[in-house]
Amino acid sequence: MGVTREAAFGSMDAAADFMGPGAILTPVFQPEILDMVRRRGMLGQRIKNQLATGQPSRYFEQTRINLGIFQDARSLAFTPTADPTRRERYVTVKAIYGSISFNLFDVETTRQQGQFAMLVAKDLEDTVQGCLRTSDLALWNGIDTSLIVPTSIEYVGGLTQINRTATIASSARIIDGLKAEIAAMVANLQFTVRPTAVYVNPILGDLIDQEERLNQRQIPQTVLNTVTGGLLVNALATQAGHIPLIPDPYLQNGVTGASATESGKTDYRAVILSEPLVEYHYITTADPRVFQLGLEGGLATRYATVMFGAPVFRGKADANTNQGVVEGSQVSYAHSVVTVVR
């Protein structure tokens, strides 16, 4: 006895938005994908890239010069003074790795549909940007604690490397405090310090604007200045000239209501930098490189991205010790982390 087989076809009812006489409405998507995911921080786009000398990357900093002494003009005598002092510095190079895999069937089906054929290129570019985002975030907030003997595979962030600090209490004006700290840095008798930028979290930047509007000073304390990518920002008139206030969301504030100095208030951070002394020491290139790996058994295409490097905030020394003496506590003189309590 024969068996009758009927072909089974899926119903369009589940895929169509509407079916009626002369009409079948199917889902159609806009060709653009809304993508507002943050990629880069400001410091990562402005930092000076420097080829690493090896692992670790090494450099020298001069901390003292041989000073002259007054003597009787008619009775000059050879009198040895302190030797010029130079210190060897290190920074350990770190690695950031990213990867992505594309399934053959899914990619070819997407291309055949035509609407989102660019997704492979977009996802690969976003993998590169993801490595840069990880790097930019760690430039400030990396959790390693030593440039010489690493305690973590992350960077030593700027908030850890810079150990010169200042605090602006909630009762003090923010701009006055920033200008006073810059003046103190410029007044250094041991080193020539020229700060070039003040990085702030955007929330702190808004607090500064609010404070200035409330004071309504006749003499403006800020001017406009152009920085990376044509971004127009406020700049402070200081003893080091006009210094831009650069918003960087990756410069994170303290926990809301958990100030270390004033109960119930929040610590906001501003960092005064001498940018020519902030370097990213890299191997081969400062940008992530993309490598295509061999096909898997499932014929998926695999890509890996990698970058080798580490930041260093130069300008830290103990100027009171001679060349032959082990350097004591190194203090940052070219940069400062300012805590604003509000």
Give the helix/strand (H/E) hosting 88: strand 85-91
Name the pairing type of β-strands 23-25 and 18-20: antiparallel
pLDDT value for 12: 46
Beta-strand relationship, 48-51 and 278-282: parallel
Kindly list the distances between the CA atom of residue 263 and the CA atoms of 219, 232, 338, in Å, as whole numbers in the listed order.
34, 35, 18
Q: pLDDT tens-digit profile of 138-165? A: 999 999 998 888 999 999 999 999 999 9
The 3 state secondary structure assigned to 262-326 is CCCCCEEEEEEECHHHEEEEECCCCCCEEEECCCCCCCCEEEEEEEEEEEEECCEECCCCCCCCC
CA distance 300 to 14: 31
208 closest CA partner among 272, 270, 274: 270
User: How many CA atoms, within 13 angstroms, populate the side-chain half-sphere of residue 149?
Assistant: 0
DSSP 8-state code for residue 18: E
pLDDT reported for residue 2: 54
Number of neighbours of residue 198 by Cβ within 10 angstroms: 28
Q: Which amino acid, one-letter code, is at 56?
A: P
* Overall pTM surpassing 0.75 (yes/no): yes
Could you give the C-alpha distances from 79 to 65, 69, 70, 72, 75, in angstroms and in order? 16, 9, 11, 12, 12
Domain ranges in the chain are 46-55+89-316+333-341
How many Å apart are CA 307 and CA 288, to the nearest integer? 5
pLDDT beneath 50, residues of the chain:
9, 12, 218-220, 229
CA–CA dist 282, 47 (Å, integer)? 12
